[in-house]
């Protein structure tokens, strides 16, 4: 299925295809504060609908994940990182995906705090 995700004001938007069957709720210091529900795909499958520089960048701790967010409205639609096998990945904040029924998706909890 094809999806689009964006920040609240629409200045940061992406598109992607996939079958979202489950999302991840991470308890690390940033995900807990953002309330993100995440779904992952290879970074090369993420299509940016707005210029790459429209999204601000934030990294912390080991700088393995680049959190992308809108500098205008502050919403974080996605992040970029490297998985444990060294592959470039995108983490979509499914709360920013248009037309998706969040209540229908099972949530897997991930202990991101344990990685610190």
pLDDT value at residue 27: 93
Mean pLDDT by 10 residues, the chain (116 residues): 98 97 94 95 98 95 89 98 93 97 96 83
Number of H helices, E strands in the chain: 1, 10
CA distance 4 to 46: 10
Radius of gyration of the chain, Cα coordinates, nearest whole angstrom: 13
Element housing 32 (H / E)? helix 29-34
pLDDT value at residue 116: 65
Find, among 67, 69, 65, the residue nearest to 115 by Cα.
65
Element housing 114 (H / E)? none
pLDDT value at residue 62: 77
Find, among 71, 96, 72, 69, the residue nearest to 80 by Cα.
69
pLDDT value at residue 64: 82
Domains of the chain (ranges, CATH numbers) = 2-115 (2.170.150.70)
pLDDT value at residue 85: 92
């Amino acid at each position: 299925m094809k999806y689009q995700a964006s920040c609240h004001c629409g200045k940061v938007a992406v598109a992607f295809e996939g079958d979202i069957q489950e999302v991840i709720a991470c308890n690390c210091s940033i995900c807990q504060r953002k309330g993100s529900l995440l779904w992952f795909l290879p970074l090369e499958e993420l299509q940016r609908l707005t210029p790459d520089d429209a999204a601000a960048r934030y990294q912390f701790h080991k700088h393995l994940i680049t959190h992308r967010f809108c500098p205008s409205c502050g919403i974080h639609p996605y992040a970029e990182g490297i998985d444990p096998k060294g592959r470039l990945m995108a983490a979509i904040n499914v709360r920013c995906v248009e037309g998706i029924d969040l209540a229908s998706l099972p949530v897997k909890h991930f202990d991101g705090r344990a990685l610190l």
